[in-house]
């Protein structure tokens, strides 16, 4: 293993993997080496560019804390998060598809009773949500844990709303015997992904927009079924075809129906106009992966 050149060095690195290495680890590392080397050769990476790349990754790591994960955000904007999802979750045609989890889910969220108002009186157009969780045969899945979280009318999650100390626009619900759950809140707005770190630098350097279409997140967990991490987008959002994290799927674009004051099926719940969103989530049995 001497006098290696730009072609022979790849096989030389791969051949250093010992026979006792776990076969899956060997497969992943070998492919990583081959693709990394091919990338360097393809773009003719300069020494300065490689040093800048290492600096970028170092600064990305330094931004990570228990509440901020800049590497996941990097994975999101490079399309890797949704690619890993696509490779691992080939669901039937009617099953609810996944989207990104994003950084705003909180483990320490409140539990709510069915129909609760989760807005904590933040200002905005009232949103009434009525959902069902069913299996692939349309049978209700009772007792499903459904987490919900979304932004306010300015595009801020509760943690970023000035003066907002309590959790708002988030929480968990349990489906009833019909697989149903519902809540009241305020209509979310489109908002930019965090742009104050290395991912923001990359997005600006590559002339990409930070704006995500508005959405409500759902994390749906029932024993015996694949966990669904998803969101529902309003069909009239300006950013549906420019999501910087590639999380929009046509099946997740939903009618956020707008009603004038005193009209529609829930006129009794609000004095003014409101939005009604209804959706049925379809789960697939676990495959044991």
Q: Are the CB atoms for 172 and 148 separated by under 8 Å?
A: yes
Asked if 212 touches ligand BEZ (CB under 6 A), the answer is yes
Which H, E and C letters describe the chain, residue by residue? CCCCCCCHHHHHHHCCCCCCCCHHHHHHHHHHHHHHHHHHHHHCCCHHHHHHHHHHHHHHHHHCECCECHHHHHHHHCCHHHHHHHHHCCCCCCCCCCCCCCCCCCCCCCECCCCCECCCCCCCCEEEEEEEEECCCCCECCCCEEEEEECCCCCCCHHHCCCCCCCCCEEEEECCCCCEEEEEEECCCCEECCCCCHHHHHHHHCCCCCEECCCEEEEEECCCECCEEEEEEECCCCCHHHCCCCCCCHHHEECCEEECCCCCCCHHHCCCCEEEEEEEEECCECCCC
Binds 187, which of ligand BEZ, Fe ion, none (CB < 5 to 8 A, cut-off by type)? Answer: none
Binds 147, which of Fe ion, ligand BEZ, none (CB < 5 to 8 A, cut-off by type)? Answer: none
Give residue number: closest CB to ligand BEZ: 102
Asked if 129 touches ligand BEZ (CB under 6 A), the answer is no
Q: Could you tell me how many residues of this chain bind ligand BEZ (CB under 6 A)?
A: 9
Of 10, 60, 73, 186, the one binding ligand BEZ by CB under 6 A:
73
Asked if 213 touches Fe ion (CB under 5 A), the answer is no
Tokens of 135: 């299996």
Q: Are the CB atoms for 164 and 121 separated by under 8 Å?
A: no
Asked if 104 touches ligand BEZ (CB under 6 A), the answer is yes
Asked if 218 touches ligand BEZ (CB under 6 A), the answer is no
User: For ligand BEZ, which stretch binds (CB under 6 A), given 46-54, 99-107, 179-187, 233-241?
Assistant: 99-107
Asked if 132 touches ligand BEZ (CB under 6 A), the answer is no
Asked if 277 touches ligand BEZ (CB under 6 A), the answer is no
Residues annotated as catalytic are 157, 191, 212, 215, 217
Work out how close the CB of 150 gets to Fe ion at its nearest, in angstroms, rounded to a whole number. Answer: 7
User: For Fe ion, which stretch binds (CB under 5 A), given 39-47, 62-70, 94-102, 238-246?
Assistant: 94-102
Asked if 195 touches ligand BEZ (CB under 6 A), the answer is no
Asked if 124 touches ligand BEZ (CB under 6 A), the answer is no
223-262 positions binding ligand BEZ, by CB under 6 A: 245
Residue 29 vs residues 7, 22, 79, 161: alpha-carbon distances, Å: 18, 11, 21, 43
Asked if 169 touches ligand BEZ (CB under 6 A), the answer is no
Work out how close the CB of 45 gets to Fe ion at its nearest, in angstroms, rounded to a whole number. Answer: 34
Burial bucket for residue 6 (CB in 10 Å: 0-12, 13-18, 19+) = exposed
Closest CB to ligand BEZ among 100 and 219?
100
Asked if 76 touches ligand BEZ (CB under 6 A), the answer is yes
User: For ligand BEZ, which stretch binds (CB under 6 A), given 19-27, 34-42, 46-54, 95-103?
Assistant: 95-103
Residues in contact with Fe ion by CB under 5 A are 102
Interacting residues toward ligand BEZ by CB under 6 A: 73, 76, 100, 102-104, 193, 212, 245
């Amino acid at each position: 293993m001497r006098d290696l050149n730009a072609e022979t060095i790849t096989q030389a690195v791969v051949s250093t993997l010992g026979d006792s290495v776990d076969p899956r680890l060997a497969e992943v590392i070998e492919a990583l080496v081959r693709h990394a080397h091919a990338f360097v050769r393809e773009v003719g990476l300069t020494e300065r560019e490689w040093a800048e790349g290492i600096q970028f990754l170092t600064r990305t790591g330094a931004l990570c804390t228990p509440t901020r994960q800049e590497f996941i955000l990097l994975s999101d904007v490079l399309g890797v998060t949704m690619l890993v999802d696509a490779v691992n979750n080939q669901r039937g045609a009617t099953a609810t598809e996944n989207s990104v989890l994003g950084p705003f889910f909180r483990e320490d969220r409140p539990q709510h009773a069915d129909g609760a108002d989760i807005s904590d009186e933040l200002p905005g157009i009232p949103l009434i949500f009525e959902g069902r969780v069913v299996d692939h045969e349309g049978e209700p899945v009772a007792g499903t844990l459904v987490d919900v979280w979304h932004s306010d009318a300015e595009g801020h999650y509760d943690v970023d709303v000035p003066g907002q100390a309590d959790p708002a626009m988030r929480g968990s619900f349990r489906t009833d015997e019909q697989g149903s759950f519902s809540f009241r809140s305020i209509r979310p707005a489109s908002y930019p992904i965090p742009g104050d770190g290395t991912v923001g630098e990359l997005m600006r350097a590559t002339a990409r927009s930070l704006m995500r279409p508005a959405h409500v997140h759902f994390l749906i967990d029932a024993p015996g079924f694949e966990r669904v991490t998803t969101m529902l987008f309003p069909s009239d959002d300006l950013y549906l075809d420019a999501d910087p994290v590639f999380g929009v799927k046509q099946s997740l674009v939903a009618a956020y129906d707008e009603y004038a004051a005193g009209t529609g099926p829930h006129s009794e719940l609000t004095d003014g106009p409101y939005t009604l969103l209804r959706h049925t989530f379809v789960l697939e049995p676990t495959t044991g992966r």
